[in-house]
Amino acid sequence: MKFFIDTANIEEIKELIPFGIIDGVTTNPSLIAASNRDIFEVLDEICGLVSGPISAEVTATDYNEMIKEAKKLVSISKNIVIKVPLTKDGLKACSELRNKDINVNVTLCFSPSQALIAAKCGASYISPFIGRLDDISHDGMQLIQDIRSIYDNYPEYDTQILAASLRHPNHLVEAALVGADVSTLPPNIIHKLFNHPLTDLGLKSFLDDWAKSKQIINPK
């Protein structure tokens, strides 16, 4: 599974790059606004840090304006992926952009039928929002499983399932178990993946025993 980091905060990205686990970045208008920076400036800096796919979302809702915004965004870098909402205009823009060999992330997916039509329109990525479905007492992970089953039935679809709106580490594990290709995670969730109380207790026990032995591996 590929890991994308869901942020427009440069310092958060820099902190996680040395671990070698960040395969790409997803942004959205809310994250860009939270950065308090110019969208082109921050996306350009992100592209300079991460060589993988960088999702940049259009803010227009009209097809023609989406295409205009997309052309400006892809001029930033070759690894920009245009993010469009799962609306009629968004899917029309997706089809047009894919015809121009521009990668597209179709976002705000909440049903298998939406995922199917997005694949038909050539989406590079489909982003089902798991947490938001869970919030309204729907089974978000079932959506991932349904999409996986549909896509597996039709090998001609090469749309990757990008699990989004993940709220905790178990969401990540569940998404991996049902076959999501990518998960996009906020930095705070990624940091939680490293931790387990038994790891901390085990390490403390090993170090306590080592201290009692009075041995030194690297004496001065």
Residues 161 and 151 sit within 8 Å (Cβ to Cβ): yes
Residues 126 and 163 sit within 8 Å (Cβ to Cβ): no
* Catalytic position from the list 72, 83, 100, 204: 83
- Residue 62, number of CB atoms within 10 A of its CB: 11
CA distances from 155 to 141, 149, 159, 205 (A): 22, 11, 10, 50
* Alpha helices, DSSP H, located in 111-196: 112-120, 130-135, 140-153, 169-177, 187-192
Q: Strand locations in the chain, DSSP E? A: 2-6, 24-26, 54-57, 80-85, 104-109, 125-128, 160-163, 182-185
Catalytic site includes residue 83? yes
Sign of CA dihedral 161, 117, 108, 35: positive
Q: 124-145: string of b/e by CB count within 10 Å (b at 16+)?
A: bbbbbbbeebeeeeeebbebbb
Cα–Cα distance for residue pair 126/124, rounded to 1 Å: 7
Q: C-alpha 44: how far from its chain's center? A: 18
The residues annotated as belonging to the active site are 83
